[in-house]
Amino acid sequence: MLLRSSKGVMKRPKHSSSNNDETKQDLISKLPDALLTHILSLLPDADVCRTSVLSNRWNDLWMFLPTLHFVMPLCWSNEGGNELYSMVDEVETPVCWSMEEVDKFYDLVDKTLALRDGMPIQRFFLYCSKDWDYDRVHDWLRIAVQCKVQIIVLRFPPERYTFRFFWDLFKTCDTLVELSLEGQFQLDVPKGKAKVLFPCLKKISLLSIDYCQVFGDELFENLITGCPVLVELCFERHNFDDLKKIKVSSKTLKRLRIYFTHVVFENCKVLIDAPRLEYLDIKDSVFSEFSITKKPLSLVEAHIDTLTISVAQIIKNISAAKVLTFKFPTLRDFHRVDEVDEFDDIYEVDEIGEADEIGEVDDLNVPMFPNLIKLVTGIKDNGSWNDLLGYLNNMPKLEHITFLNDPPLEAPACLRFGVKEIILRNQETIRQRELAFIEFMLEHSNNLEKFTMNFRENDSKTREKLLNSYRGSNRCQIEFVPGLRR
**What's the confidence (pLDDT) of residue 256?**
97
**What's the confidence (pLDDT) of residue 5?**
38
Distances (CA, A) of 298 to 249, 271, 280, 292: 16, 19, 11, 14
CA atoms of 379 and 408, how far apart (whole Å)? 10
**Spatial CA neighbour of 375 closest among 393, 350, 352, 351:** 393
SS3 483: coil
What are the backbone dihedrals phi and psi of residue 163, each rounded to the nearest 5 degrees, phi first? -115, 115
Q: Give the list of residues 6+ apart from residue 410 with CB closer than 8 angstroms, or none.
A: 437
Task: Tell how far CA 159 is from the center of its chain.
Answer: 23
SS3 366: coil
CA atoms of 23 and 40, how far apart (whole Å)? 19
Sign for the CA dihedral angle at 217, 208, 327, 224 comes to positive
CB atoms inside a 10 Å sphere around CB 205:
17
Q: What is the DSSP string of 125-192?
A: EEE--TT--HHHHHHHHHHHHHTT--EEEEE--S---EE---HHHHTT-SS--EEEEESSSEE----S
Residue 330 and residue 380 in contact, taking contact as beta carbons nearer than 8 Å: yes
CB atoms inside a 10 Å sphere around CB 128:
19
* pLDDT, one tens digit for every residue, the chain (486 residues): 333 333 444 454 555 555 555 545 567 767 777 787 777 777 776 677 666 656 666 767 788 888 998 988 876 654 444 444 444 444 455 565 567 888 888 999 999 999 888 899 999 999 887 777 888 989 999 999 999 999 999 988 766 566 677 877 888 888 999 999 988 677 777 766 657 888 999 999 998 887 765 566 788 888 898 899 999 999 987 766 667 888 999 999 999 999 987 655 567 889 999 999 999 999 887 778 888 988 888 999 999 888 766 777 788 889 999 999 987 654 555 554 334 333 334 334 443 344 343 333 334 467 889 999 999 987 655 556 666 777 788 888 999 999 887 676 666 777 777 899 999 886 677 777 778 888 888 988 888 999 998 876 667 888 888 899 899 898 999 998 876 554
Q: Give the list of residues 6+ apart from residue 352 with CB closer than 8 angstroms, or none.
A: none
Q: HSE of 98 in the Cβ direction (CA atoms, 13 Å)?
A: 6
- Specify burial of residue 308 (Cβ count, 10 A radius: 0-12, 13-18, 19+): buried
**Spatial CA neighbour of 330 closest among 339, 320, 321, 322:** 339
Q: Long-range contacts for 481-484 (Cβ within 8 Å, ≥24 apart)? A: 481/452, 481/453, 481/454, 482/454, 482/456, 483/454, 483/456, 484/425, 484/426, 484/452, 484/454
How far from each other are the two terminal CA atoms of the chain, in whole angstroms?
Answer: 56
**What's the confidence (pLDDT) of residue 356?**
41
Distances (CA, A) of 26 to 10, 19, 30, 363: 21, 10, 7, 75
Which residues, in sequence order, are bridge partners of residue 210? 186
The maximal CA–CA distance of the chain, rounded, in angstroms, is 86
